[in-house]
Structure 1
Amino acid sequence: MHILFLTDNFPPEVNAPASRTFEHCREWVRQGHKVTVVTTAPNFPKGEVFDGYRNRLWQRETVEGIRVLRVWTYITANAGFLKRTLDYLSFMVTGFLAALFVRRIDVVIGTSPQFFTNCAAWLLSAIRRRPFVFELRDLWPESIKTVGAMEDNWVIRLLEGFELFLYRRADVVIAVTHSFRRNLIERGIDPNKIHVVTNGVDLSRFHPMARDGELARSVGLEGAFVAGYIGTHGMAHSLETLLDAAAALQARKDDPVASRIRLVLLGDGARKAGLEARAAEMDLRNVVFLDTVPKDEVPRYWSLLDISIIHLRRDPNFTQVIPSKLFECMAMGIPVLHGVEGESAEIVEREAVGQTFEPENADALVEGLLSLARDSERYDRYRAACLEAAPKYDRRRLANDMLEVIEAVAR
């Protein structure tokens, strides 16, 4: 079977969409299928093309057996609704044109969060008379309203109309959460064609590691109890909550446990510069900012953490998402403090891999940090539960689940 996959994120980018697509496609190639990925020059999240690449009209490469076609797009940083929309629209056009020249395909997959990629996938499937699979990773444009990038107006309603059109035209919708599936059913989409394949983790890359002492020394974390956030610093993540928690810990000068805690924020995004400026204004000496690192280096930086902080703004839309970093924490054996309500919090509680706290509540975050720093027995229980739960979310098994759906619709 020849699978054509359209996505605007792919390695060497290190965000969740890029990792999921690559790890699934790699497994499908291992099983003897041919996979062609149409994508952009890697540039997320800074909007700067990675070293070794150019934003050219057309370029080819092979990545672990996956044929990758990269096309020109309007590239901009991950900030600003209008510019980002132009970015999406340009890939819709150039990705579609490039995909037209891919021969002998059996199925077309388009992935969100934004649906312009799926517009190209649907049109291509219609022209080539092949099944169309919509991989649903985010409810866009609902998420635009959630992060405050745009208020509800006629443009949003028009986009929502296109969104529903694509769900209806898809032969199959593969959602990453059960909440997304319920959302679509409530909006009139046929439940029989909606399948759920959650995010997971590549257990060959993410596994327990001793703290990298040399790295810890180089970033000033030697001897500290380290809690960290690793991922995009965007509008949705409300990382100001972590800075407020750091300030509260720093104010407890007579508490030796609080004085030992350090917060690490690794990644990039639209809010990174603002967060760094705010931390400087607050004179936070217990916060370390680190830039995005190459994909192969990510586990090494995870090894610095005693606790992983997962956080999103408090909003009903985010009760439907499951941050993929939760599964990486499990595989690394790193307990979590989880500031996201809804389906992902249910996983944390069911698997007993950490503690939940109210989103955007810095005091609750401080309480969680201090309790885990002081209670080694509870910490060890969470760590053991992480390692026990991780195999349930093995990316190879989940890739097989998705492949079964694709093979069925291709037949």
Structure 2
Amino acid sequence: MKEVLIITNYFPPETGAASNRIFHLAEGLQKHNFKVSVLTPLPNYPKGKVFEEYRGVFKHTSLESNITINRLWIYASNSKNKLLRLIAMLSYSFSLIWFFTWNKIPKTVIIQSPPLLVAFTSVFFLRSKKRKIILNVSDLWPLAGLELGAFKKNFSYKLLQKIELFNYKYADLVLGQSEEILAHVKSLSPEKETFLYRNYPDFEVKSTRHEIDSSKKLKMVYAGLLGIAQGILKLCENLDYTRIQFHIYGSGAEQHAIENLIKNKPELDIIYYGEVTRQALHQVLTKYDFTIIPLLNRIYGSVPSKIFEYARLGIPMLYFGGGEGEDVIEKYELGWVVQPSNYEDLNKVISKLKLSKLESENRNKIQKTAIYNFDFESQFIRLMDYL
């Protein structure tokens, strides 16, 4: 039985796209007769605090679904202070080095990037002619950080670019979740072998039945990270609520500001539910008329995994993020597209939504499209040829 190690910053019980993606990858490998182990920090995302049941230990090892999970110590923080964030990444990197020193590492290693520094630590210490390094790139750092305003083109940025290039150079294979990511990798390392590995969900689908009550407001939902990049606070402030009621699930940096906005401006038709599990979310999402997938600014290489998950649930989408995600929405007729930060156009599109596009017939069409085109198992079998 072939062994494979996955190194990641995110893994269940943490929530979010990155955690789900790596879990499905590990589970898929295990089902295809790989002996899978995972290296990940003690659970702490997105609150920046180690979950209560994992506190007070340096390392926690468990066997879950026949996958060995090694959870290592981290100085957890989601502070906006760049120094504290750097210390957090360095702490996990030191834990990784300790693990590499005292444990036998399989010949095949899959490394999640970003975080860039964690990926660099893993690539640097594990690179070997006898070992296959697979880099799973979900976002382009430091470029994405520059576009988000987190970085400036200074010495630190140039250093991060060199780290990025090092990671690509010593990876035997690069997995990218978008065509833009693969194009970027090829521009820096033309001979590098790449594979498009979308973040397709892997769960059973149920037929959907949904009818619109034309006498009431449309129910629009957002579920996910309430971070700066998503811009949910600004979205709340700029929506026209004449025709919609806005429902929000999730947590993150903007959570308290959103709660205060709802408290101070009760005339805004917003309902906030907090954070729920993915399983519970799947049960409630289908009752909403449509969902919105926003990014405050277009981020090169980004294709939100929500697109594929919501399509499988049969939920019409209003995509407000630009880039390659727009192409997916339009190509597969999954909903509507509005340029990011154009709130005037967004409100116009919402005001003209046709009810027929939100009801059962169109939802079933979206679901069938997802089942046929966004199939986890088919993509995974293609990936097996590279392993």
TM-score, length basis structure 1: 0.86
Residue 364 of structure 2 is matched in structure 1 by 384
**1:182-221 residue pairs with structure 2 within 5 A?**
182-187=183-188, 189-204=189-204, 207-208=206-207
Q: Is the CA contact (8 Å cut-off) linking 1:352 and 1:382 kept in structure 2?
A: no
Contact 1:114 1:141 in 2 (8 A): no
Instruction: Supply the distance in 2 between the matched residues of 1:267 and 1:398 (Cα, whole angstroms).
Output: 29
Kept in 2: contact 1:229–1:265 (CA 8 A):
yes
Once the two structures are TM-superposed, the CA of residue 284 in structure 1 deviates from its matched residue by: 4.1
Residue 353 of structure 2 is aligned to residue 360 of structure 1 = no
> Contact between 2:144 and 2:300, CA under 8 Å: does it hold in 1?
no
In 2, distance between residues paired with 1:48 and 1:32?
A: 35
Contact 1:241 1:362 survives alignment (8 Å): no
Maintained 8 Å contact 2:316/2:357? no
Q: Which runs of 4+ in 1 moved over 6 A?
A: none
Give the 3 Å change call, closer, same or farther, for CA 149–346 of structure 1 in structure 2.
same
| Structure 2: runs of 5+ lacking an equivalent | 211-215
Alignment-derived partner of residue 229 in structure 2? 236
1:295 aligns with 2:275: no
Alpha-carbon distance in structure 2 between the residues aligned to 1:15 and 1:38:
18
Q: Please say if 1:267 is aligned against 2:260.
A: no
Q: How does 1:70-81 map to 2 (within 5 A)?
A: 70-77=71-78, 79-81=80-82
The offset of 1:344, in angstroms, is 1.0
Percent identity for Structure 1 against Structure 2: 23
Change (3 A) 1:403 1:90: farther
Which residue pairs with 1:27 in the alignment? 28
Deviations 1:255-313 (A, max 9, x none): xxx1xx21112111112222333343443441112222123322123234221100112
Answer yes or no: is the 8 Å Cα contact 2:9–2:115 preserved in 1. no
Residue number in structure 1 paired with 2:213:
none
Identify the residue that residue 65 of structure 1 maps to in structure 2.
66
The amino acid of 2:336's aligned partner reads: Q
* Greater RCO, CA 8 A, separation 6+: 1
Residue in 2 aligned with 1:309? 292
Distance apart, 1:123 and its partner CA: 2.7
Q: How many residues align?
A: 379
Point out the structure with the larger helix share.
1
The structural deviation recorded for 1:80 is: 3.4
- CA distance 1:31–1:72, change in 2 (3 Å): same
* Aligned-pair CA distance for 1:226: 1.5
After TM superposition, give the deviation of residue 347 of structure 1 in Å. Answer: 0.7
Contact 2:136 2:174 in 1 (8 A): yes
- Output the amino acid matched with 1:39: T
Tell me the residue number matched to 1:155. 156
Residue 224 (structure 1) shift: 5.4
The 10-residue stretch of structure 1 (296-305 or 39-48) with the greater mean CA deviation from structure 2: 296-305
The farther-off stretch of 76-85 and 169-178 is 76-85
Q: Does the CA-based 8 Å contact 1:319-1:340 persist in structure 2?
A: no
**Which consecutive residues of structure 1, in runs of 5 or more, have no partner in the other structure?**
212-222, 253-257
Q: 1:37 to 1:112 in 2, by over 3 A?
A: same
